[in-house]
Amino acid sequence: MRAIAAPASLKEVLSAVAAAEALAAGLRAGGAESIAVPVADGGEGTLEVLGGDLRDADVSAPLGGRVRACWSLQDDGTAVVESAQALGFQTVSELDPVRASSRGLGELIVAAAREAQSLLVCLGGTVTVDGGAGMREVLDELPLPARVACDVLSPLLDAAYVFAGQKGATEGQLDSLAERLRGLPDVPGSGAAGGLGGAFAALGAELLAGAELVLDEIDFDPSGYDLVVTGEGAVDETTWAGKAPGEVVRRCRDARVRCHLFSARDDLSGEPAQADRDLFELGERLGRAG
């Protein structure tokens, strides 16, 4: 049996690359011929999945101070800039979406543009809900042609009313956060990354479905394989609303290739320290089942 291990990251537990390697090793232990193809959708971990020549820059952290943020340069001169590198949950010691600024992303783009010919900006996994106001303090215009990969194609005000609670916003703060966003273009993807999608649309960038773009960039093609294994931390309605595992399932269906979708929350042990072992054992079981 020929199999592809194609998981997304298990957020704050295991990267997509580590998860794919553990699954593929398990599949091989179970007797399958397997390759690791980690996937992402524009959010946290997309930079690692796309690869390239890794660089870094010192930028403003969302709540003050400085943070080292990575970006990568592709062979064709494209700089891949991941918003979560500069604005992700790992950059703060507390959540405060009222104060959190996206300025660091603007600084990261400026640094990357010095060495690149075009930009691929990956939006998702940020602690900000400022509609890109901080970023616009640094960028009056895009320094290079840009594509923007959005982890969700949500409308603008979803940044406040759907996602801000995950970033620490209280019910009483939602209306004021939404007010910040008004006046930005409201197109699919505008609500990504705390309204950063809307800010990029205002600057003339093209907003794209992140999962489709990433899978195209890595030439994901299940044709000729017998099994694809994909999954993420929690499979829910968002899995089918633009997340990478949902796109993997769709492409497998179109190619008529069997696909096994796992939810780490429901199908693994629930012990973060054991996640790689859990994935190895899952792969081994699927490999033996054939």
241 band by pLDDT with thresholds 50, 70 and 90:
confident
All residues at 6 or more sequence positions from 286 whose CB lies less than 8 Å from its CB, including other chains: 3, 26, 27, 30, 32, 227, 229, 260
Give the mean model confidence (pLDDT) for residues 36-44.
Answer: 94
Task: Please give the pLDDT value at position 269.
Answer: 87
Cβ atoms within 10 Å, residue 140: 9
Task: Please give the pLDDT value at position 240.
Answer: 87
Structure tokens at 23: 């699954």
pTM of the prediction?
A: 0.91
**Which string of DSSP letters, residue by residue, matches 152-210?**
----TTHHHHTTGGGGT--GGGHHHHHHHHTTS---TTTTTTTTHHHHHHHTTPEEEEH
63 band by pLDDT with thresholds 50, 70 and 90:
very high
* Contact (Cβ atoms closer than 8 angstroms) between residue 87 and residue 127: yes
- The distance from CA 83 to its chain's CA centroid, rounded to whole angstroms, is 9
Closest CA to 215 of 39, 75, 4, 6: 39
Backbone angles phi, psi at 33, to 5 degrees: -95, 115
Closest CA to 161 of 170, 149, 148, 152: 170
**Four-point Cα dihedral 257, 45, 72, 68, nearest 10:** -170
The pLDDT tens digits of the residues spanning 265-286 come to 999 988 888 999 999 999 999 9
Give the mean model confidence (pLDDT) for residues 149-170.
Answer: 95
202 pLDDT higher than 90: yes
The pLDDT tens digits of the residues spanning 118-131 come to 999 999 999 999 99
Task: Please give the pLDDT value at position 270.
Answer: 84
Task: Please give the pLDDT value at position 290.
Answer: 83
236 pLDDT higher than 90: no
Give the mean model confidence (pLDDT) for residues 6-11.
Answer: 93
Give the mean model confidence (pLDDT) for residues 10-30.
Answer: 95
54 pLDDT higher than 90: yes
237 pLDDT higher than 90: no
The pLDDT tens digits of the residues spanning 80-95 come to 999 999 999 999 999 9
259 pLDDT higher than 90: yes
Cβ atoms within 10 Å, residue 124: 29
| Average model confidence (pLDDT) across the chain | 96
242 pLDDT higher than 90: no
251 band by pLDDT with thresholds 50, 70 and 90:
very high
253 band by pLDDT with thresholds 50, 70 and 90:
very high
Range scoring the smallest mean pLDDT among 58-62, 179-183, 206-210, 237-241: 237-241
Task: Please give the pLDDT value at position 127.
Answer: 97
Task: Please give the pLDDT value at position 158.
Answer: 96
